[in-house]
Amino acid sequence: MRVRINGEDLLLVCQITVAALIAQRKIRPETVVVEHNGAILARDKWEAAVLKENDTVEIISFMGGG
């Protein structure tokens, strides 16, 4: 199954939730916002959000800027 995470194509061998994806990447959940297929996905929905073929996920956080 092909998905697009932060602009990179990824082949997944098994089903995965957004929560698991975040955990796998060792990202602290409270520091990021997730967009799933272009819509903001509230943190309490991550556990139920299973990635499907051709889904896009953006994982976004704050950094320095002027």
Partner 1 sequence: MEDQLIIAGQAIESRFFLGTGKFASYPLMREAIVVSRAHIVTVALRRVDTQDRRDNILEYIPKECIIMANTSGARNADEAIRIARIARAAGCGNWIKIEVIPDNKYLLPDNAQTIRATEVLAKEGFIVMPYVNPDLADARRLSDAGAATIMPLGAPIGTNKGVCMRELIKILVQEINLPIVVDAGLGRPSHAAEAMELGASAVLVNTAVATAQDPALTAQAFSLAVRAGRIAYRAGVAAPKDNAEPSSPLTGFLR
In the shown chain, the binding pattern of residues 5 to 44 toward partner 1, with x for contact by CB under 8 A and - for none, equals -xx-----------------xxxx--xxx-x----x-x--
Taken in order 16, 48, 33, 1, is the CA torsion positive or negative? positive
Taking the CB of residue 28, how many other CB atoms lie within 10 A of it? 8
- Site size for partner 1, by CB under 8 A? 21
* Between 9 and 64, CB nearer to partner 1: 64
Interatomic CA distance for residues 65 and 49, integer angstroms: 31
Q: Which residues bind partner 1 (CB under 8 A)?
A: 6-7, 25-28, 31-33, 35, 40, 42, 58-66
